[in-house]
Each structure stands twice: as C-alpha cells, then as structure tokens.
Amino acid sequence: MVYERVVVGLGNPGPEYDWTRHNVGFQVLDLLAARCGAFFANASRLEGFAGKRCFTWCARKCALLVKPTTYMNLSGEAVAAVQQYTGVPSESILVVYDDFDLDLGRLRIRAQGGPGTHNGMRSIVNGLTANGLGTDRFPRLRVGIGPPPTDAARHVLAKFSERERAEVEISIAEASDAIEAWLDGEPIERVMTRFHSRWN
C-alpha cells in the first residue's frame, strides 16, 4: 500500500503513562483510530517494513497513524524509520504533542518551526530529513497541558485530574477533527485558518 501522509502522536509506552500530560499525542491517535475502527499493530506487521521496530501503527485510508514505542526523548528514531519506509516528504508528516507553554486545552497548528523545549520534538527534528539534512519543516499540532507549577519533568508525567481530563478530552476531539481535515487533503494552511478561528 502507498501511504501519502503520516500522523505521529507523541507519548511514552506503557499503561502507567495513560492519560499523563506527556501522552496527549497518543490519546489523539487513539481517538483517530477508534473513529475509523482501526487497531494499532506492531511494526513487524507492516507489509514490507524491514527497519527498526520502534513504533505501533494503523492505517486510515492512505495515511499511516504512528505511535513511537521508544520513550519520548527518542521519538525521532521511530519517525525516521517511518519516513524511510513510506518515502513521504517531511511536509506530509504531522506530529501531535503536548505543550506546557499553552494553557490547558488550548490548541495550535503550525506548518513548521523549531522544537522549543520539547525533547521529543528535538529528537524528531534531528531524525527527519529533507534534502539529506535534519529539518523542522513539518506540520505540528500542539495540545496545551498548562504550565508546570514547579518541576517541569514531574508536571509532564503527572496524570490529569478529573476536571482537567474532561477539558482535555474536548481538546483531543477537536485536535482529531483538524487532523482528519488534513488527512482528507486540506492544505495545512487552510486547516490552520479554519480551526484557529474556531478555537479562538
């Protein structure tokens, strides 16, 4: 099968990380998969894939949904393996992840940009290639998890409170709507205009 677009959700593998702030990327992909009745499978079950088995995947039409099974700081290994397998340009790989520089539940889409303070994104910038070099020219959707009260590392690994989770679930659904529009062929700039207007 030929895949035209890839969506990568960032998180840490293992049930102990479910619904932690750092795993909202996984939660968005889980919802996208559920909406089309798909289930995630090990990389070993991806037809013709011979690279490092460091992700799980499911298919949505001509798109590949990917959750790295590396820990967050090594996410670039999985994304590089997927790019090599699919052959898609970096502009066709969208990454969804948490951001503590955004208020809880806020959403932002960008067509490209640096990794900021996010270690997973830094790994991806180093792992993705355009013209043989690392690149930050790929779209991303940030899900706000709110600023850390003190320790950032402890904050991102903390689970959402019941009240916070209710708010974040709404944001996850809206993020999924935006990604589906992009997967259906809408240019990222148009998705940005349409959804930013709604979110604001």
Q: Which domains does the chain have, with CATH numbers?
A: 5-199 (3.40.50.1470)
CA atoms of 59 and 197, how far apart (whole Å)? 29
What is the reported pTM? 0.94
The string of DSSP codes covering 3-34 is --EEEEE---SSGGGTTBGGGHHHHHHHHHHH
Q: Residue 61: what pLDDT? A: 84
Q: Residue 115: what pLDDT? A: 81
Task: Supply the Cα-derived Rg of the chain in whole angstroms.
Answer: 15
| Residues near 12 by beta carbon (within 8 Å), at least 6 away in sequence | 20, 22, 23, 71, 72, 157
Q: Residue 131: what pLDDT? A: 57
Q: Residue 90: what pLDDT? A: 92
**What does each of the 200 residues of the chain score in pLDDT, given as a tens digit?**
899 999 999 999 999 999 999 999 999 999 999 999 999 999 999 999 998 899 999 999 899 999 999 999 999 999 999 999 999 999 999 999 999 999 999 999 999 988 877 889 999 998 886 656 578 899 999 999 999 988 888 999 999 999 999 999 999 999 999 999 999 999 999 999 999 988 87
CA atoms of 99 and 139, how far apart (whole Å)? 15
Just list the catalytic residues.
22
Q: Residue 132: what pLDDT? A: 63
Residues 65/38, Cβ–Cβ less than 8 Å? yes
Residues 12/71, Cβ–Cβ less than 8 Å? yes
Q: Residue 16: what pLDDT? A: 95
Q: Residue 130: what pLDDT? A: 63
